[in-house]
Structure 1
C-alpha cells in the first residue's frame, strides 16, 4: 500500500510539474513529463494488479504478503496467456455488467417513480437512481472481478498441485493441463509442498 501510494504521489507530482511547464510554454518538458506520467501510470496499474493477486494468494495459501506477492508474480509469469485472456474477457464482461446494472437501475427507477407519482417532476429522482445504480454497479462488478481472479488462481493451483480431478468442476476438467512433464508444487516452498503432496495424495 505504501509503494502504491508513493507511485500515485509521484504521478500527481508529474502532473503538477507538467502544468507548470505548460504555463511556461516549455513543450519539451511537457512531452517528457507526459511520457514519464504514462510510464508511472503503467507501473501503478501493474502494482495494483500484483497487489490484488498477492492478497488472493494470502487468502488461498495463508502465506505472508511478501511471499504471496512473489508466488503471485511467478504464477502470473507461468500463466501469462491465461491471465491475459481472463483479463480481456473480464474487462469486457465488467463493462457490460456495469452498463446493464447502471442503465437497468435508472430505467426501472424511472418507471417505478412514474407509476407512483405520474404528475411529479422525475429529474431529481432519476439522478438519484442513476447515482445509486452507478455505485452499486461499481461495487458489484469489482467483487465479480475479484471472484474471477480468485477462481483462476484456484484453478491453476489445483492443476499444479495435482488435485484437479478432485476439486476442479467437471466442465473445466478438459482445460486442465495434464502434461506429465510439468512440475508440481512450483508455487510453494519445499515444506509446504510436502504437506500438499500428502494432502492430495500426489
Structure 2
C-alpha cells in the first residue's frame, strides 16, 4: 500500500510539473496511470481490511487470510456490492442526522434561544464560528464512531459468507 501511495504522489508531482506542457499524449497517459494507481490503492485497502478481519477471526497469517478473504468475497461479489453501498448510505444518513441535531442544538445554544441555559451561553457577535466548529467536530466524532460500525458490518458479513459456504459444502458432502 505504501509503495502504491508513493507512486501516486510521484505521479501527482509529475502532473504538477507538466501543467504547462502541451503534449496531449503525455497528459492522457499520466491521467490513465493516476486512475489505475488510484483504483489499485482502493483495492489494496479493501483487501487489507478484510484480510485483517480474517486474521482476527481465524488467527492465520496475513497472506493466507488475504487469499481466503479475496476468494470468499469474489464468490459473493453481488452481496458485497449491495451490502457495501447500503451500509455506506445508512452510515452517511446516521452522520448527517447526528451532525444536523448537533448543529441545530448548538445554534439554539449560541443564539440564546434555550431558556434553561440562557445564562451559560456566551454573548457573541458572530455565533456562526463556534457553531461551524461544533458541527465539524461532531462530524469527525461521528465518522470515528461509525467507522467502528462499518468494520463490525464487514466482520459480520465475512462470518455470514463463511457460514453459508460451510453450509453448502456440508450439504454437498451428504
TM-score range, shorter chain: 0.7 to 0.9
Give CA deviations for 1:63-108 in whole Å, capped at 9, x if unaligned. 1111111110111111111111111112211221222222222222
Residue in 2 aligned with 1:134?
Answer: 139
1:152 pairs with 2:157: yes
1:143 pairs with 2:153: no
Superposed CA RMSD: 2.2
CA distance in 1, matches of 2:5, 2:154: 24
Could you say what secondary structure the match of 2:22 adopts?
coil
Greater CA drift, 110-119 or 10-19: 110-119
Greater CA drift, 132-141 or 98-107: 98-107
CA contact (8 A) 1:101 1:133 kept: yes
Q: 2:107 aligns with which of 97, 100, 110?
A: 110
Give CA deviations for 1:35-84 in whole Å, capped at 9, x if unaligned. 11011101110000000000110111111111111110111111111111
CA contact (8 A) 1:102 1:133 kept: yes
Shift of 1:179: 9.0
Structure 2: which 5+ runs fail to align? none
CA contact (8 A) 1:109 1:126 kept: yes
The runs of at least 4 consecutive aligned structure 1 residues that moved more than 6 Å come to none
Matches of residues 51-200 of structure 1 in structure 2 within 5 Å? 51-113=48-110, 114=112, 115=114, 116=118, 117=121, 119-121=123-125, 122-162=127-167, 180-181=171-172
Count of aligned positions: 166
Instruction: Identify the structure with bigger relative contact order (alpha carbons < 8 Å, sequence gap 6+).
Output: 2
